[in-house]
């Protein structure tokens, strides 16, 4: 038996179901102290109250692994949360008047302006993804009062609210690489983001306020549109631009050159949140040889799902197709697709099958074309 062909065929059968949306734009509302979710394709509101925040003037919510880290400008800390809104504590100490952040590689960079709590003043403070301090580097005279960070061309761009450069280049160790943009055309830059064409978007807070598009190499302004007190900015998948200010979140349509408000509140920075949908839970009952009941729960509703058998456990990785790279908990011995079923309207259900003596003591696992890699259930032994 060619196991690769068998499992690739299963992946192709599952692909017809497509993958559920698991990506969102998240944003702190610092007036109502909550996380708000938007659709990254068109900016439409998905959840106006994803979960409540602790306060402290939250500015930037950023995903770090399976956590959400939120910078608190007045709280002088980075609070940590799981995806259900449960507090996981906070990164504290050595920070004062913090704003935007960036996760670059395995390091978290946080903009800092004050000197209380042992903080270094105008600087970028660094942590590992467990929250351990890794030092800081100064931005004095280059990007004083830093507000935003963007990974860019192997280094980073740091925006500033006053003096020095509007946007300055640094390498990942904090060495200056020179001015990216400095002109009277932009004043008080907050969040930075990449446009779909690779250009840099800059949120200009002060007069002349608006969103500015900059050449990624020279930093020259190549486009702009007006917006009052712009704080956050993000390029949507449909070509529109989402931006935020103290009164709400807005979507700018470059075709009509108009901005439409999609949410009212004290809106801050925008960032991507990826939530991998849970895989199904598998339970087996019955007697082998004989009739075996395959039952599942906690699966996305109305999706096709493959039931895969192998004689042993292992770590077979699907080599191609829509589920390429997905690792199963099954070995290669007698690896085969048993059935493709629908998860049902509730994401729970069961099917019966006749198991021959060769299946007894073997293992089953569910594979669903959901997420990247595809989701898998637990491995269950045939009774």
Q: Chain-wide mean pLDDT for the chain?
A: 91
Q: What percent of the chain has pLDDT over 90?
A: 80
Tell me, what CATH number does 330's domain have?
A: 2.60.40.10
Do 234 and 331 lie in a common domain?
no
Residue of 316, 315, 317, 367 lying closest to 338 (CA atoms)? 367
Write the pLDDT tens digit of every residue in 118-148.
999 999 999 999 999 999 999 999 999 999 9
Write the pLDDT tens digit of every residue in 233-285.
999 999 999 999 999 999 999 999 999 999 999 999 999 999 876 568 899 99
User: Domain boundary at 274, 296, 327, which?
Assistant: 274
pLDDT value of position 269: 98
Domains in the chain: how many in total? 2
User: For residue 16, is pLDDT > 90?
Assistant: no
Q: What is the mean pLDDT of residues 24-49?
A: 97
pLDDT value of position 7: 41
Q: Residue 375: pLDDT band by 50, 70, 90 thresholds?
A: confident
pLDDT value of position 294: 95
User: For residue 331, is pLDDT > 50?
Assistant: yes
Do 293 and 173 lie in a common domain?
no
Residue of 198, 235, 193, 192 lying closest to 215 (CA atoms)? 198
Do 314 and 376 lie in a common domain?
yes
Do 298 and 208 lie in a common domain?
no
Domain of 326, in residue numbers: 3-18+277-381
Q: What is the mean pLDDT of residues 217-226?
A: 98
User: For residue 44, is pLDDT > 90?
Assistant: yes
Do 158 and 257 lie in a common domain?
yes
Do 144 and 216 lie in a common domain?
yes
Burial of 234 (0-12, 13-18, 19+ CB in 10 A): buried
Q: What is the mean pLDDT of residues 161-169?
A: 92
pLDDT value of position 22: 76
Burial of 319 (0-12, 13-18, 19+ CB in 10 A): middle
Tell me, what CATH number does 28's domain have?
A: 2.130.10.10
pLDDT value of position 6: 42
Write the pLDDT tens digit of every residue in 75-105.
999 999 999 899 999 999 999 999 999 999 9
Do 313 and 239 lie in a common domain?
no
Write the pLDDT tens digit of every residue in 180-203.
999 999 999 999 999 999 999 999
Q: Residue 320: pLDDT band by 50, 70, 90 thresholds?
A: confident
Q: What is the mean pLDDT of residues 213-230?
A: 98
User: For residue 13, is pLDDT > 90?
Assistant: no
Q: What percent of the chain has pLDDT over 70?
A: 93
Residue of 304, 152, 162 lying closest to 219 (CA atoms)? 152
Higher pLDDT, 12 or 129: 129
Do 270 and 207 lie in a common domain?
yes
Do 77 and 119 lie in a common domain?
yes
User: For residue 301, is pLDDT > 90?
Assistant: no
User: For residue 19, is pLDDT > 80?
Assistant: no
User: Domain boundary at 211, 240, 274, which?
Assistant: 274
User: Domain boundary at 274, 298, 323, which?
Assistant: 274
Do 263 and 327 lie in a common domain?
no
pLDDT value of position 304: 80
Do 37 and 177 lie in a common domain?
yes
Do 236 and 172 lie in a common domain?
yes
Name which of 22-31, 151-160, 369-378 the model is least confident about: 369-378
- Cβ count within 10 A of residue 207: 10
pLDDT value of position 15: 43
Dihedral of the alpha carbons of 55, 202, 110, 275, in degrees to the nearest 10: 70
Name which of 22-26, 45-49, 270-274, 322-326 the model is least confident about: 322-326
Q: Are 374 and 14 in contact (CB under 8 A)?
A: yes
């Amino acid at each position: 038996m060619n196991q690769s062909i068998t499992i690739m065929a299963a992946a192709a059968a599952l692909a017809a179901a497509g993958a559920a949306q698991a990506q969102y734009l998240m944003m702190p509302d610092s007036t109502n102290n909550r996380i708000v979710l938007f659709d990254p394709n068109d900016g439409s509101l998905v959840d106006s109250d994803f979960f409540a925040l602790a306060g402290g003037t939250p500015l930037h919510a950023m995903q770090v692994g399976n956590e959400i880290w939120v910078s608190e400008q007045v709280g002088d800390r980075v609070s940590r949360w799981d995806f259900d809104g449960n507090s996981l504590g906070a990164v504290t100490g050595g920070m004062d008047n913090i704003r935007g952040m960036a996760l670059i590689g395995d390091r978290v960079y946080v903009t800092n302006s004050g000197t209380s709590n042992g903080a270094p003043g105008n600087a970028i403070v660094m942590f590992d993804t467990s929250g351990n301090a890794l030092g800081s580097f100064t931005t004095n005279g280059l990007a004083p009062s830093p507000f935003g960070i963007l990974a860019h061309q192997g280094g980073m761009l740091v925006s500033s609210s006053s003096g020095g450069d509007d946007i300055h280049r640094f390498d990942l160790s904090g060495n200056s690489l020179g001015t990216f943009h400095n002109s009277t055309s932009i004043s008080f830059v907050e969040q930075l983001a990449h446009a779909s064409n690779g250009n840099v978007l800059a949120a200009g807070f002060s007069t002349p306020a608006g969103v500015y598009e900059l050449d990624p190499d020279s930093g020259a302004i190549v486009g702009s549109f007006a917006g009052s007190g712009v704080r956050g900015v993000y390029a949507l998948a449909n070509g529109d631009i989402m931006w935020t200010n103290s009164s709400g979140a807005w979507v700018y349509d470059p075709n009509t050159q108009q901005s439409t408000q999609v949410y009212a509140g004290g809106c801050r920075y925008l960032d991507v949140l990826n939530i991998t949908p849970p895989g199904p839970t598998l339970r087996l009952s019955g007697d082998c040889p004989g009739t075996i009941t395959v039952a599942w729960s906690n699966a996305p509703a109305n999706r096709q799902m493959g039931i895969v058998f192998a004689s042993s456990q292992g770590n077979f990785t699907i080599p191609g197709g829509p589920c390429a790279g997905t690792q199963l908990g099954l070995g290669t011995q007698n690896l085969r697709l048993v059935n493709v079923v629908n998860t049902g309207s509730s994401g729970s259900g069961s099917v019966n099958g006749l198991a021959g003596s060769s299946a007894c003591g073997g293992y089953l696992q569910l594979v669903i074309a959901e997420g990247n890699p595809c989701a898998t259930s637990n491995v269950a032994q045939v009774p």
